[in-house]
Copies of this chain bind each other. A is one copy, B any other.
Amino acid sequence: MTYTDLSEQILRKQSYLCVGLDTDLRKLPHHLLTEPDPVFAFNKAIIDATADFAVSYKPNIAFYEAQGPRGWESLQRTLEYIPADCFTIADAKRGDIGNTSGLYARTFFEPQAAGLNFDSITVAPYMGRDSVMPFLDYEGKWVILLALTSNPGSADFQRLVTTSQLDGGMAGGGGDYMSENVAMDQLYQTVIKTAQTWAGPDRMMFVVGATQTSELSRIRELAPDHFLLVPGVGAQGGSLAEVSRRGLTKAGGLLVNASRSILYASDGLDFAAQARTEAQTLQKEMALYLAERV
């Protein structure tokens, strides 16, 4: 899917909602457990219920892997079922040396490999450029790079102050660190800057947790046109209003993910109807923010 396609869909549906398919077999409504593939039966009902209000679906791969081979079959069926106009995200957080990243790219992007054909994949940046590029070798596919995540551990490394000047300086007293031509950024900012030399906004997005609103304006400065995938609204406590005010662009520029609040809105026979209501509530709120933005 192209940047323009995604942007147009957002304006048409008046929504930038991504539904996270973190489908946990242990949380499914009991009446589904007798289905031949309960995870797919659940996902199918959720997709049917929410597709009017969502522009993207994001299966969290951990939930499928934890079921072994049959989990991969549920994932294949789910991905095939997602409407073609919705942007699909493999939330896999992969990243390895080049030939291994290349295999992960095959897995998620080449249908004849593992039966999957996602539009995009989330990737961890720690291993650098050659761990990311193999995903970009697939024309039309996207990398969604972790930048500033929503969890408490994001403070451990992502927010460390870094300098790109590696040699010299400190042993002699650190004077170089005061000169103006040394870049001082938090690690996640360096990630955002560096990754823009690998691909443009038409092929790359960044993950920014909804709990990190204080940083969102700075991130928008660094990456004015990139889509941001924003998890953490709802169960994790992020504010949709704050995220939207700081993150929306003319093209949309946001995919805000909600998982548990939609999937598990009810654990009864009405789970799909309740999921629909929840998704519609978010969409209506998003329509307001889209209108405010213009």
Contact = CB atoms under 8 A, between A and B. Distances in A.
Contacts of A131: 151, 153
A124 to B, nearest CB: 5
A103 interface: yes
A199 to B, nearest CB: 14
Interface stretch (A30-38, A48-56, A163-171, A268-276): A163-171
Given A67-B113, A126-B157, A157-B190, 13 more contacts: A63-B103, A65-B107, A67-B114, A69-B73, A97-B149, A124-B126, A124-B127, A128-B155, A130-B151, A130-B153, A131-B151, A160-B164, A160-B190
Given A62-B107, A177-B174, A158 B68 contact: no
A73 B131 CA distance: 27
B98 A151 contact: yes
18 contacts: A65-B114, A66-B103, A66-B107, A66-B114, A67-B113, A69-B70, A93-B127, A95-B124, A97-B236, A98-B151, A124-B127, A159-B166, A160-B162, A160-B166, A161-B163, A161-B170, A162-B162, A174-B178
A237 interface: no
A43 B250 CA distance: 53
A162 to B, nearest CB: 4
A197 B178 CA distance: 31
Interface of A: 22, 60, 62-63, 65-73, 76, 93-98, 100-101, 103-104, 106-107, 113-116, 124-132, 146, 149-166, 170, 173-175, 177-178, 184, 186-187, 190-191, 194, 236
Contacts of A68: 72, 76, 107, 113-116
Contacts of A126: 124-126, 146, 149, 157-158
A104 B71 CA distance: 13
Nearest to A178: B174
**Total copies of this chain within the assembly:** 2
Nearest to A162: B160
A111 to B, nearest CB: 10
A212 to B, nearest CB: 13
A263 B132 CA distance: 26
A187 B127 CA distance: 12
A156 B196 CA distance: 13
